[in-house]
Amino acid sequence: MHDLNSLYAFLVVGGLLSITPGPNMIYVISRSITQGRRAGLTSLGGVVVGYLFYMFGAAFGITAFFKTQPHAAQILSACGAVYMGWLGWNAIRPGGRSPLEIREQLPQEPAVKLFAMGATTSLLNPKLALIFLTLLPQFIDESKGQVLQQSLFYGGLLIAMFAGVNAGMAIFSGSMATFLARKPTWLLAQRLLMGITLLALSAEMAIQALG
């Protein structure tokens, strides 16, 4: 049984990360805007392959790390603090852009190639490994045992949030891009809110690492 407070906190943090622009989101949105919703969703199917690969890799790696390192939680918290801080800075830095500002045109591709390109984009994205390796341990309770099962549970939730947000982007990105092109202040507000929240999370992880 998972602690409800930890579960709610994980859902909040995972939700913020799921709306943080990255290579996978940008690729899915690009495909949707230039080739249509079906192309975006097909590309997302390939992206999910990368999610699953990194989730299972992180879950088994975290389990082994907890068993061999006496200060595993502090080490991973420190890594997470650095990475979340970097994400936060990239969200608020001058010149930052929203993925919905994409205007580049991509060539039309068949479904099989779209799926393969989505998987390749996801598998070649090392940020995914960092997210799974640094975020999941913050919510794993060693005292309850079953570290692997806890890792897979939280990893599955994270994949569901990532896939859900990207599916929404694939379906509605064309309409959102047109709407937000006329509302630049909304894009700025979204980036600032996300960046400040991620920086706060980075500070909390840093405190945990020092504790």
Q: How many domains does the chain have?
A: 1
Q: By the 8 A CB rule, do 115 and 43 touch? A: yes
Q: By the 8 A CB rule, do 51 and 23 touch? A: no
Residue pLDDT, tens place only, 175-194: 766 666 666 677 677 667 76
Range of the domain at 106: 4-210
State mean pLDDT over 97-115: 70
**DSSP-based three-state secondary structure for 94:** coil
Q: Give CA–CA dist 109/96, Å, rounded.
A: 29
What pLDDT is recorded for position 105? 58
Amino acid at 193: L
Overall pTM > 0.85:
no
